[in-house]
Copies of this chain bind each other. A is one copy, B any other.
Amino acid sequence: MSDCRRLVLEEFERFMPREQRARSQLYDLIYDYPLREAKALRPALCIAVCRALGAHLGTVLPSAAVLELYHNAFLVHDDVEDGSERRRSGPTLHRLHGVPIAVNVGDAMLALALEPLLENTRILTLGKALGILECIARMARESAEGQALELEMIRNRTWTLTDQEYFRLVHKKTSHYSFIAPARIGAIAGNASASQLAALTRFGTWMGVAFQIQDDLLNLAGKEARVGKEIDGDLWEGKHTLILAHALRNASEAERQEAGAILGKARPTEQHRGGDADAVIAGLRQAGRISHTLAAELREALGVPDESTRLKTARDVAFLKGLIVHYGSLEYARDTAARWARRARRSLEAMNWLRASTHRDFLFHLTDFVVARDN
């Protein structure tokens, strides 16, 4: 995958309009996430499928690089949407430069991704070039629908998901852009038949679910230095994971209610940390430095949020984590991810039309990697 990453970064150089780069900081910011250590999983999958079908690297490289550009654009916007703090071992882009600049950088990346896909008409047949564009359009739509699903769940305070609801969410928000689109685009460039495309789509669906469950596991039980994101970030952000869903399903009614109340609270941001008025006033009151009346007046005047809009605390997050450990939800998630990865592997074994090659071997390796990886 590291070879692939180098190729993709070289390809990026071709996408960027030369005359604009020196004039605007925008292009430095576009490169921020891609230059942080990344796996280049999506382009590697795309290239491996294409080459295992017997086609040349050159036919698919621009499209593979576009997938990585889309991935990074999604990360920039997702980090804004989820209020994430860290990404690939550094502060998220909106933490560094503010939400306005981060939203625009993501948009610029989406805009830049179009041109190379149009140039595909010069290296592929027209039908293939259009097929790849259709695949990208579908991928972008499914990903936005997946994000919408999750944001709606957070808004409606829906925390108890069935496994099936979780799979539907992950199918849209992860499988499509991380596995289905890369595999299909590699296959289109590699001249695959409709039934071969369908088989790869199923493979991508299952790989996506296994990959996302492992992502959720690493967020809770990984090493921050390897993962590059804050551990427990998903609990702070109130993300919907199979792990949390399993714990809530098995928890007592009282535990479930307490967990629901915690998940309904926002996570404290930098701004809150700088001045959590509630804690300051409580401290002054306890020390007897202000009267009860003045404390109440200050709360009112400063707009201290009431119980229902309080912020999550470290103790809240520890409570959620306690439930997860107590009900064996990590083990459940590990088993489930392994089952989906095995299913993907079996489907790959049935694809006897993939040529025996390092590329086919790499695809098999990926079915282990998605659940064995530590970053």
A residues touching B (Cβ–Cβ < 8 Å)?
A: 17, 20, 24-26, 77, 80-83, 97-101, 103-108, 110-112, 114-115, 118, 121, 126, 130, 133-134, 136-137, 140-141, 143-145, 147-149, 151-152, 155, 271, 274-275, 277, 280, 283-284, 289-290, 294, 298, 301-304
Contacts and interface: CB of A to CB of B under 8 A. Distances in A.
Contact of A274 (B26, B108, B303): B303
Contacts of A143: 107, 111
Q: Main SS of chain A's interface residues?
A: helix
B134 A115 contact: yes
11 contacts: A20-B145, A24-B152, A77-B103, A101-B151, A104-B151, A115-B134, A118-B133, A118-B134, A121-B130, A280-B298, A280-B302
Contacts of A136: 114
Contacts of A100: 80-83, 151
Contacts of A121: 130
Contact of A140 (B107, B149, B302): B107
A101 B101 CA distance: 17
A145 B26 contact: yes
A80 B99 contact: yes
A366 to B, nearest CB: 26
Contacts of A112: 141
